[in-house]
Structure 1
């Protein structure tokens, strides 16, 4: 019992990874950990963005990460790890170097939906309880690099101001903050995160990653849930399928059509269109 053969969910924030992780957590063989960023990033807090490479996964780093996840799985009396950390979009080679045996699930979602959902989070702010939980998880050695971000999030929540930035940090993200409107910044974020993830995923050996779209899973849960269960080699796949179909919210798929202003769509269209088209989405 340990962290062997883990299921690693890869996807930008607001792409359905939380929901899929919760579905996996209901399986009796799976110990699910939601967003253990500190496990992956310990010692890397001063990096300018969220990118980590295979070269960063030194034997010492890989051993520490594997042992931490092994303890987590054992403490819960389960057989396998499942986890999701959105910033791992930018770390697929690093994740693979730590866990070469991992089953990677890359979940894609329409960038317009991600923009709409992320902007709502930014304007409402993070719950103080979530900020506190992340702060408590942060190793003391990483606190000097993280304290400013935590303090800013708390201050903005307390005064009702939106967050300056939230989510995955691709290369160049600092240039967008304060320069671009939220929706333009989030369009660049989605392209930077998902574009890199899809390139890295498609360079992996066959059978090590399953790529699928959130919208396809919602519209045809039986087919796609069966593919996921088979790929992950889940015992009793009927349990997984039942949990998928019982928790879907189809109304979320095209909410952006009802809520995003046409002027916003005009602004982000030239940024999003190349990657949307590549992933099979239409404008």
Structure 2
């Protein structure tokens, strides 16, 4: 829907943003052009980055990164800016469900970032995740993932820079697309575009054909998938979801079915899974703090006038600077 806006480009899910940040020390001092070239080639040539799905000229993007500002955020932003330019649009974004875990990282890379959090009934999310051909986790991990996302919305989002966070529910968006897309556009500082209500017209361009699990993006916006957890989850899974997620579901207006409480043994399994995930997060954060002590460069992107001001860098003279990169 956002990609259908005439001024905003949202690519298929990329896989280089967080990975590049986590490997930033390996790229060394980006003030050196050769180091920027190594970074660019890592993004462009690495299959896991999914750069090939963007339809861009790898050599040209590499050249732009080498010639661009010497920061990691600038290099990564250049890739997505090139995607936006390919679609003749001035603004770009990126999307991944796991980004809520890395808002601090994204703000280091893009200090003027705006965050849009789309929330869906956790039971439908668990049901959908279980059906994904690439998902290898358990139902306990799926429940954990939704709980973590909601806990971020309730406790993490208020700590973001003022005015940088927007939240909406999937069920409301599909029931009344125009009303909720108008609010989204207001948050983004853009005029509403009616084309956003017809995302299927762009699905052939914006959704890679091999992502068969996104086949419904080729159809009209519908509410038919709302509440399908009732058929897609078994009684034990419904009990697990509502026992663990009950207060979170009700906070966001989702009515509980009254399923019985999950048996103790399954709750213990869930708690072990949640504890393991929490420990992994704590370790990741602690390791990242150590890495920050060794960074050779500032990270923030310097591709727009706003980013340059936030970086404290003098504005170039007589050079056009994009206002909304």
Provide the TM-score with structure 2 as the length reference.
0.53
2:3 matches 1:32:
no
Aligned counterparts of 2:227 and 2:93: Cα–Cα separation in 1: 28
Q: Gaps (5+ residues) in structure 2?
A: 25-69, 202-218, 257-325
Higher alpha-carbon Rg: 2
Deviation at 1:45, TM superposition (A): 6.6
Aligned counterparts of 2:100 and 2:188: Cα–Cα separation in 1: 19
Quick check: 1:112–1:256 contact (8 Å CA) kept in 2?
yes
Return structure 1 stretches of 4+ with deviation > 3 angstroms: 241-246
Deviation at 1:236, TM superposition (A): 5.0
2:233 matches 1:260:
yes
Quick check: 2:174–2:223 contact (8 Å CA) kept in 1?
yes
Match of 2:165 in 1: 209
Match of 1:82 in 2: 93
Question: What are the equivalent positions in structure 2 for 1:10-29 lying under 5 Å apart?
Answer: 23-29=1-7
Quick check: 1:40–1:65 contact (8 Å CA) kept in 2?
no
Deviation at 1:110, TM superposition (A): 0.8
Deviates more, 1:227-236 or 1:86-95: 227-236
Residues 252, 73 of structure 1: alpha-carbon distance in 2 compared, 3 angstrom cutoff: same
Quick check: 2:21–2:72 contact (8 Å CA) kept in 1?
no
Aligned counterparts of 2:15 and 2:136: Cα–Cα separation in 1: 20
2:127 matches 1:188:
no
Quick check: 1:104–1:210 contact (8 Å CA) kept in 2?
yes
Partner of 1:78, secondary structure, is coil
Quick check: 2:181–2:192 contact (8 Å CA) kept in 1?
no
CA RMSD of superposed structures (Å): 2.7
Aligned counterparts of 2:251 and 2:108: Cα–Cα separation in 1: 27
Partner of 2:129, secondary structure, is helix
What is the number of equivalent residue pairs in this alignment?
194
Residues 236, 194 of structure 1: alpha-carbon distance in 2 compared, 3 angstrom cutoff: closer
Match of 2:103 in 1: 92
Partner of 1:164, secondary structure, is coil
Deviates more, 1:29-38 or 1:71-80: 71-80
Quick check: 1:29–1:80 contact (8 Å CA) kept in 2?
yes
Of Structure 1 and Structure 2, the greater strand share is in 1
Residues 60, 198 of structure 1: alpha-carbon distance in 2 compared, 3 angstrom cutoff: farther
2:250 matches 1:277:
yes
Deviation at 1:244, TM superposition (A): 8.7
Deviation at 1:60, TM superposition (A): 3.4
Deviation at 1:43, TM superposition (A): 5.1
Deviation at 1:92, TM superposition (A): 1.3
Q: Deviations over 1:134-184 (max 9, x none)?
A: xxxxxxxxxxxxxxxxxxxxxxxxxxxxx532xxxxxxxxxxxxxxxx322
